[in-house]
Amino acid sequence: IMEIRLENVNKTFKNGKRVVEALKNINIKINDGEFFGVLGPSGAGKTTLMRVIAGLETPTTGSVYFDNNVVARDNKNIVDVEDRNIGMVFQTWGLYPHLSVYDNIAFPLRVKRWSEDEIKKRIYEITDILNIRNTINLKPGQISGGQQQRVALCRALVKNPTILILDEPFSNLDAVIKDSARELAREIHNRDTITTLIVSHDPADIFSLADRAAVINHGVMEQLAEPLEIYDNP
């Protein structure tokens, strides 16, 4: 569980001569154990915001705090990505196609030099929870989209992260699976009382899951409220 605070965060990218202000003076406090949504159209800055929190980008100016400890400030990461204990799932899931489900999920643990015995124990545990134990010897291309999404979730959760970032995690799922995927996300969040961030351009994801949500447009945070309030004041 972790409180996340952004203070006057700006992020600019230079594309040749063009300067893109992807985030403009963002101030947010995300509470311990909150399910927090980020809503906005394509190009609004949602992914950039998640990457700044994860440490994959630095804020050009401004600061990011986890539990009142500064993790990034003014273009410098003070705590690196690997030390932030964040699990991430992206729209494309990013599974390694040539590796088995087992080896995909083992990957972050092998990076951390866990023993193979510990890895096996943890993989059996997490694949039981997400109900994909019977797929562990298959490759991602041999299982369904819904199962691939669970594999991506397993890989994100295998290290017991304190923060879970879901960036458009349901976009590649058909409508029927989408509902059960949302239910699963809610279950995981409640089970581990993890601080969870979900990015979506689909309001239905936010309304069904988030305690509060930020609406971002052209890098500016236009609203920060409970989903129903946002719905009433679009």
Contact set with ligand ADP (CB under 6 A): 13, 15, 20, 22, 40, 42-48, 91, 168
Q: Which two tokens stand for residue 216?
A: 């971002």
If the CB atoms of residues 48 and 58 are measured against ligand ADP, the closer one turns out to be 48
Minimal distance, residue 200 CB to ligand ADP, in Å: 10
CB of 21 to ligand ADP, least distance (A): 8
Cβ distance to ligand ADP smaller for residue 40 or 126: 40
Residue 77: closest CA among 51, 110, 115: 51
**Nearest distance in Å: CB 36, ligand ADP:** 15
CB of 8 to ligand ADP, least distance (A): 18
**CA-to-CA separations, 3 to 17, 160, 192, 227, in angstroms, rounded:** 37, 16, 15, 20
Question: Rounded to an integer, what distance in angstroms lies between the CA atom of residue 76 and that of residue 234?
Answer: 36
Kindly list the distances between the CA atom of residue 22 and the CA atoms of 13, 51, 153, 202, in Å, as whole numbers in the listed order.
7, 12, 27, 20
- Of 95 and 101, the one with the shorter C-beta distance to ligand ADP is 95
Q: CA 63: distance to chain centroid? A: 19
Give the nearest distance from C-beta 45 to ligand ADP in angstroms.
4
Residue 28 or 129: which CB sits closer to ligand ADP?
Answer: 28
Q: Which residue in 64, 13, 212, 219 sits closest to 231, CA to CA?
A: 212
Choice between 196 and 200, CB closer to ligand ADP: 200
